[in-house]
Amino acid sequence: MNKIQTTVAVTLLSLIPGMALSAGNATEGYNKSTLCHACHGATGMSTQAIYPKLGGQQQDYLSKTLRDFRDGDRQNAIMNGFSANLSDADIEDIAAWYASQQGLTEIKDK
């Protein structure tokens, strides 16, 4: 592939939903999320109703909402604080960790 073909291919790939190029590293995300475990659980299965479950959530949703908390576009006193020092890379890694967990299992009763 020449340079133009590569650019076109990369651009097309980035348009496919769920194929973000900065995929995040789940193992790094686990290490970076230890502060979060107290409320959300290590695998994102919090046991208290006031703390949302994160396990198995879509990665793009998790990274967007974390950026929103960090940047003040979503207001919550607790989460604005806990996200304040996260870099974009930290957010992608943490989102990758929680997204890779099983989370709630859909019940298919037919």
Phi, psi of 33 (to 5 degrees): -105, 10
Q: 102 with 43: CB under 8 angstroms?
A: yes
- CA dist 40 and 17 (Å) reads 27
Binding residue for ligand HEC, selected from 26, 36, 96, 99, defined by CB under 6 A: 36
Half-sphere exposure of 90 (CA within 13 A, CB side): 15
C-alpha angle 101-104-106 in degrees, rounded to nearest 5:
120
> Considering only residues 68-107, where is the footprint of ligand HEC by CB under 6 A?
76, 78-79, 82-83, 94
Q: What is the CA radius of gyration of the chain?
A: 16
The one segment of 3-11, 13-21, 50-58, 100-108 that binds ligand HEC by CB under 6 A: 50-58
Cβ-based nearer residue to ligand HEC, 19 or 35: 35
Q: Is there binding between residue 52 and ligand HEC (CB under 6 A)? A: yes
Binding residue for ligand HEC, selected from 43, 55, 66, 101, defined by CB under 6 A: 66
Q: What is the contact surface with ligand HEC in residues (CB under 6 A)?
A: 33, 35-36, 38-40, 50-52, 54, 62, 65-66, 76, 78-79, 82-83, 94
